[in-house]
């Protein structure tokens, strides 16, 4: 509450003076009582001052037949993963009703350190939404990773008093956490008493107990209800993730219903969602819609999108509900089944007129972050024996299976064919020349190669394909243009989306990026990638050595379950 304005706001609440805006006669969703009440909402100076039909406004908005919800909150996301600028992501997602974003900028930090974090904060300073930041806890994700920068507790200290920094971002290095490694303990202690985001896929038993003991308050990596229940029993809040590659919502929501679980400990998040998916199916409104379709009562689904998340991050005194003193972040819905968004208001003002404008100068160092030497054909050769370690893709998930099986070979060298593709990860920050090569089953790209400088979390250059010629061309093309995505076939560049900002984002504009992405993805599916796989998102996760079970880094294959590299 802004108590400098309290006298004026109190007069409005008492009815002594007119409200600036009254939202008249809608069906107001009360997340405290679970009721839907036909009434009016009075707003002044961006704050809800009263509920009831007695209020009169200088401007009145008729909501007869409509539903009025608190603004939606994304409990955990990486703005960089949308591949457009942070402001442009907000432009698209806020119109879907998401008025608050809990952001972990560890993608930018892994490439450019504090400069990347500052870019995220600067870009979102004046958008019509609430953008909060969690300090990246694992930059690099694991100590051996070949990323662009190290971001430690000392560098975090200067952000402690920033009004939009809430706590510590997802703690992916669970090994350092549960073993109380001093560098990790220093970060945990720095944010003692503040929210600490988790990242603990399949962590269980005594290891999970030690992880929770560190003060980690939530997790967004659950893919089964058994995992959810174990973490909930230890007090962890669960962000139900529905992104582009990891789609966990249906399994978890149906599990909540089958087990008659209370929903207070659950929220929604997107984590990593591409802009074309947001445009096609929505953002947090999509999560609400899908949860209702699974059988969750609409008000419970809306609670998971609003007040539950606000409470998790200590924002519930100002966000997540429609009540006096709350910020007037409001979503007008046509119905509570399809959850069609009719209008969105941030601090009482319609957001429909917001258009993002690129701000990063053309000569910024953030536009020059791809530093790798050309790779040689022999660096892609992969000797194999009778059986090989294979990364098996699981459709709809970012976790993988670790298989050991026979693969196609000739003269003792792996030959990609059928379901077996070759993948290479090339260090692109310090020009070290490191190249890791492995085998992926289930990607099924035939007649070409796909490459990306988006490769969580270190963001090296990843390329996957069925022949070395196209893989070499794809890698060289991204090196030449300074990062992005490209699809190659028959020695020709078919489609490219340039991502000049840290090799992660484009400021060319959503329409141009979305159009080229749509064509590229459709062509990739035509080349054999299964329809239930989001190819660019999935490729971006195959190099992340904190997600079970088998990954590939510039140093080679990494067994996540055993936390060790595999000798090939």
Task: Report whether 238 contacts 231 (CB < 8 A).
Answer: yes
Which one has a higher pLDDT value, 520 or 81?
Answer: 520
Helices (H), 240-390: 249-258, 275-281, 284-293, 298-304, 307-312
pLDDT digits (tens, 9 = 90+) for 210-249: 999 999 999 999 989 999 999 999 999 999 999 987 889 9
Structural domains of the chain, with CATH: 71-315 (3.20.20.140), 366-565 (no CATH)
pLDDT digits (tens, 9 = 90+) for 489-511: 999 999 999 999 999 999 999 88
Look at residue 275 in the predicted model and tell me its pLDDT.
84
pLDDT digits (tens, 9 = 90+) for 78-135: 999 888 999 999 999 999 999 999 999 999 999 999 999 999 999 999 999 999 999 9
DSSP class of residue 320 equals: S
Q: Is the pLDDT of residue 476 over 90?
A: yes
Q: Is the pLDDT of residue 4 over 80?
A: no
- Angstrom CA distances, 386 to 406, 411, 415, stand at 6, 12, 13
Q: Is the pLDDT of residue 3 over 80?
A: no
Q: Give the percent of the chain with pLDDT over 70.
A: 100
Look at residue 54 in the predicted model and tell me its pLDDT.
97
Of how many residues is the chain composed? 568
Q: Name the pTM for this structure.
A: 0.92
Q: Which long-range contacts (CB under 8 A, 24 or more apart) does 354-359 make?
A: 354/90, 354/91, 354/94, 354/127, 354/128, 355/91, 356/85, 356/87, 356/88, 356/90, 356/91, 356/127, 357/87, 358/85, 358/507, 359/85, 359/87, 359/122, 359/123
Look at residue 137 in the predicted model and tell me its pLDDT.
97
Look at residue 1 in the predicted model and tell me its pLDDT.
67
What average pLDDT score do residues 327-351 get? 97
Secondary structure, 3-state, 398-439:
CCEEEEEECCCEECCEECCECCEEEEEEECCCCCCCCEEEEE
Q: Which two tokens stand for residue 419?
A: 């379901």
What average pLDDT score do residues 551-562 get? 96
pLDDT digits (tens, 9 = 90+) for 400-450: 999 999 999 999 999 999 999 999 999 999 999 999 999 999 999 999 999
Q: Is the pLDDT of residue 147 over 90?
A: yes
Q: Give the percent of the chain with pLDDT over 90.
A: 90
Task: Report whether 309 contacts 75 (CB < 8 A).
Answer: yes
């Amino acid at each position: 509450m802004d108590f400098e304005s309290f006298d004026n706001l109190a007069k409005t609440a008492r009815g002594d003076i007119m409200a600036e805006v009254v939202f008249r006669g809608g069906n107001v969703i009360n997340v405290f009582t679970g009721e839907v009440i036909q009434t009016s909402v009075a707003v002044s100076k961006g704050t809800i001052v009263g509920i009831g039909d007695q209020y009169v406004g200088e401007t009145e908005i008729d909501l007869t037949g409509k539903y009025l919800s608190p603004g939606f909150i994304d409990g955990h996301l990486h703005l960089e993963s949308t591949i457009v600028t942070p402001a442009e992501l907000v432009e698209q997602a806020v119109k879907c009703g998401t008025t608050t974003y809990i952001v972990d900028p560890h993608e930018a930090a892994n490439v450019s350190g504090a400069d990347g974090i500052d870019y995220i904060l600067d870009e979102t300073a004046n958008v019509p939404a609430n953008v909060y930041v969690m300090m990246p806890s694992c930059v690099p994700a694991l100590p051996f990773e070949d990323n662009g920068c190290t971001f430690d507790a000392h560098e975090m200290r200067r952000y402690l008093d920033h009004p939009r920094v809430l706590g510590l971002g997802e703690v992916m290095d669970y090994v350092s956490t549960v073993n109380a490694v001093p560098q990790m303990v220093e970060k945990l202690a720095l944010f003692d008493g503040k929210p600490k985001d988790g990242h603990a896929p399949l962590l269980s038993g005594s290891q999970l107990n030690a992880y929770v003991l560190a003060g980690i308050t939530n997790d967004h990596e659950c893919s089964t209800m058994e995992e959810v229940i174990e973490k909930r029993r230890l007090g962890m809040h669960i962000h139900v993730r529905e992104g582009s590659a990891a789609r966990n919502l249906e399994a978890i929501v149906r599990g909540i219903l089958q087990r008659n679980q209370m929903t207070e400990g659950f929220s929604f998040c997107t984590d990593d969602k591409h802009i074309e998916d947001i445009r096609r199916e929505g953002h947090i409104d999509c999560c609400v819609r899908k949860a209702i379709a699974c059988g969750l009562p609409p008000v419970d689904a809306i609670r998971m999108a609003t007040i539950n998340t606000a409470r998790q991050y200590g924002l519930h005194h100002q966000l997540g509900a429609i009540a006096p003193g709350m910020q007037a972040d409001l979503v007008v819905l046509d119905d509570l089944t399809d959850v069609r968004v009719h209008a969105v208001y941030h601090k009482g003002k319609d957001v429909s007129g917001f258009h993002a404008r690129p701000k990063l100068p053309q000569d910024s160092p953030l536009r020059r972050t791809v530093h790798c030497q050309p790779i040689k054909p022999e660096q892609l050769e992969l000797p194999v024996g009778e059986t090989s370690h294979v990364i098996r893709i699981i459709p709809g998930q970012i976790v993988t299976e670790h298989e050991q099986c026979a693969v196609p070979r000739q003269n003792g060298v792996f030959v990609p064919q059928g379901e077996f593709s070759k993948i290479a990860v090339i260090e692109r920050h310090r020009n070290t020349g490191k190249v890791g090569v492995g085998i992926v089953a289930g990607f099924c790209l035939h007649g070409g190669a796909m490459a990306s400088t988006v490769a969580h979390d270190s963001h090296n250059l990843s390329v996957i394909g069925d022949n070395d010629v196209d893989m070499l061309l794809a890698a060289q093309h991204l090196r030449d243009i300074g990062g992005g995505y490209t699809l190659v076939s028959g020695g020709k560049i078919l489609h490219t989306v340039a991502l000049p900002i840290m090799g992660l984002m484009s400021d060319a504009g959503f329409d141009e990026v979305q159009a080229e992405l749509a064509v590229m993805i459709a062509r990739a599916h035509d080349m054999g990638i299964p329809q239930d796989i989001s190819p660019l998102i999935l490729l971006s996760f195959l190099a992340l050595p904190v997600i079970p079970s088998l990954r590939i880094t510039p140093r080679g294959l990494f067994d996540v379950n055993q936390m060790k590299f595999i000798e090939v």
